Structure 1
Amino acid sequence: MSTEQTTTAGGFTYTLTRALDAPAVKVWRAWTTAEQYAQWAGAAAGSVEMDVRPGGAWKATMVTPDGGQFPLTGSYLEVAENSRLVVGMDVPGKPEPAVMTMELDEQDDHHTRIVLRQTCDTAEERDMAEQGSTMLLNSLGAFLSPKPGH
């Protein structure tokens, strides 16, 4: 996985790139289907709701490794099936959502490059968001990996 951090006039940005052993359609379904997302993203069972269309809302209650739970909400800002998803995440106390972009680039029928990008207001927010996104990509990669005997 490659990681890039930059600081611009608009804030603090991270970019994560990873190669996945799955076609883009399978990666897209894992990220945009509530049942599949809940399986790999660390969400509480039954808490994920997704209306994947521009302006559609989403919500999920994430479970931390120590058992804590925190609800997340947001909306879809841009949806290009099997290629690009721009997600707004509501941030308590902030007027504008945090925006994360997920892009898929299918390398061949069995491999897809995924790129996650987010700009935050502070280096601390960026580092926390990047850590969370790295955990998501690790879980997604494990979820999509071919299982022995299948």
Structure 2
Amino acid sequence: MSAEQGTTTATEDFSYTLNRTLDAPAAAVWRAWTTPEQYAQWAGAAAGSVEMDVRPGGLWKATMVTPDGGQFPLTGSYLEVAENRRLVIGMDVPGRPEPAAMTLELDEQEGHRTGIVVRQTCVSVEERDMAEQGSTMLLESLTAFLAGRPTD
């Protein structure tokens, strides 16, 4: 099983868009993003650190583990939830009054495949580049997880 590499675009407003086609139905992709146990397996979160209240206004948190063993906590809330179709995740950013919002859109396709689009607008080119790199790594790990391969 494989995923087709999609397009990446970045514009002067410090946003990016990532497109992929995953070899899994939309419901499986949705569960991977919204089930704490599954998310921890593929996203690099510390075991037992993921909490999700997947509804508009519901809170989430996770402690991410870096390849060198460092840990950093993330928190936020769900801004929009349309099961198996659209998820807008607010991520708390220290020093900023408004959360950074990442949008996931799922499009069920023939053959139990799903198109996924990840979008985010950032406040600087540096933030955009870091967020895009992180989202690219997440999509690579998600692809491996859905294919049943190890994610490291």
- Scaled by the length of structure 1, the TM-score of the pair is 0.94
The one-letter code of the counterpart of 1:124 is: E
**Match for residue 124 of structure 2 among 107, 122, 127:** 122
Q: Which residue of 2 aligns with 1:3?
A: 8
Displaced runs of 4 or more, over 6 A: none
Counterpart position of 1:33? 35
Deviations 1:75-134 (A, max 9, x none): 000000000000100001111100000000011241000000000000000000000000
- Native 8 Å contact 1:89 1:97 kept in 2: yes
Change (3 A) 1:25 1:17: same
Whole-angstrom CA distance in 2 between matches of 1:113 and 1:88: 22
Deviations 1:42-92 (A, max 9, x none): 000000000000000000000011110000000000000000000100001
The range that moved more, 107-116 or 83-92, is 107-116
Say if 2:144 is the partner of 1:142: yes
Secondary structure, in 3 states, of the residue corresponding to 1:7? Answer: coil
Of 98, 101, 107, the residue aligned with 1:99 is 101
In structure 2, C-alpha distance between the alignment counterparts of 1:127 and 1:71, rounded to whole Å: 20
Match of 1:89? 91
Question: What is the number of residues matched between the two proteins?
Answer: 144
Contact 1:23 1:108 in 2 (8 A): no
Q: Mind listing any 5+ residue stretches in structure 2 that lack a counterpart?
A: none
Q: Distance in 1 between matches of 2:11 and 2:140?
A: 22
C-alpha RMSD of matched pairs (Å): 0.9
Identical aligned residues as a percent: 78
Alpha-carbon distance in structure 2 between the residues aligned to 1:114 and 1:91: 25
Q: Give the letter for the 2:79 counterpart.
A: L
Which structure 1 residue ranges, 5 or more long, are not aligned? none
Match of 1:113 in 2: 115
